[in-house]
Structure 1
Amino acid sequence: MEFQAPNTLAEQIANYLADRLMTGDIKPGERLQEATIAVELEVSRASVKEAFYTLERWHLVDITPRKGATASLLDADHAAELYDVYMHLLIMLARRLCERWQEKDRERLMDVIHKATSRLNADAPNISAVVQASFDVMDACCAVVANPYLTEALTNFKPAVSRTYYFCADRYRQDLDRTGMFFSRLTQAVLARDPEAAERQIEGFADHQKSLILQALARDVTVSSAESE
């Protein structure tokens, strides 16, 4: 496999592995063999190791001294903690957005939200496209708020949150109307500069998303138990 600029080699390796981790091709708890990956991708082990550190920052792998990297676990406790922290970061973003958006930002924000809701309302919505559109909205809000620390924190959570969307894709696909309603109500709160209303929308939506992933995890445990009998 050949990798091209603009990203560094390690970043491209990290993105490639992140896709496999997010879509479940690499299972939670599975060990990532540094030497095997280096041979598969025809790259140096040093580049793979650097990519592992990026994946660790994205909360997709855990690195243990002398044991290497393993795909981070996806269970009820980890999912609950992930969404709790992510929710509070989104609330901080929404509150700052209520304070800082200006009239010149309105058109840009409405455009990216319109694109997201269009993908949500498609006859056969593509989960990858919908997830990307949702993050496009977040990125546009980050650009308006212009807090580099908050932007970095939210960016590092994207892959881990994406993995939960892929894991419960069927439930998420059936629930896109609720997602569209969330975008609509959150937009109204932000344009009205009502941070309390924005916070309520994010809390409600995050709790609902967390329930979807927990349902999917519970089903996965049940299926696994049945297959092992």
Structure 2
Amino acid sequence: MARYGPEHKEATRRRMLETAGRRFKSDGIDGSGIATLVADAGLTNGAFYGHFRSKDDLVASVVAQQLEDQVARVNALPAGVESVVAFLSEYLSPTHRDDSAGGCPSAALLDEIGRCDDATRQSYTDGARSMIEAIARHLDDGDAQLAKERAIGLFTLLVGSLQLARAVTDRDLSAQVLTAAHASALAIVANRTPATSIDQESE
């Protein structure tokens, strides 16, 4: 029987994490059984348990990897607010809204993660903290604490807005949610109060 090297084992594990991540984000964690998950990766149940102790172990690993990949993308952007502005346009787009499987893990899984075991929630906590720090580095203009607060606000706004845009059945309302969220996000990036229709009428 052929024995595979560590590179093959790592590649198999990575494939499992990637396919499971897409499945979780499209069908939900609870809606994805092990049989489907291993079939997506082209594995057998026996191979699955050679990499993960349980489905919960897989979930925690997927959450960690999904956030790690997202943080890496943000960290790879050229330093500065211009990169954040470009990121906002991509994140709050109809294309991202319509691609749960390939999109942000927070927007797709946050409600379920809150009901997961401590290991998964800890994986998410570590990843969310890293994501906030990555955003804050782009927003930092000399006040690190303020940059972190703005990053938390921006991250929260992005995730919640995308969830709402996906949840509503009214496509016009969904588009309005993305547009309004984009304006508010730009205000956070610029460190200013967003103009409202009431403000504009009173000028």
Which TM-score applies when normalising by structure 2?
0.40
- Higher relative strand content: 1
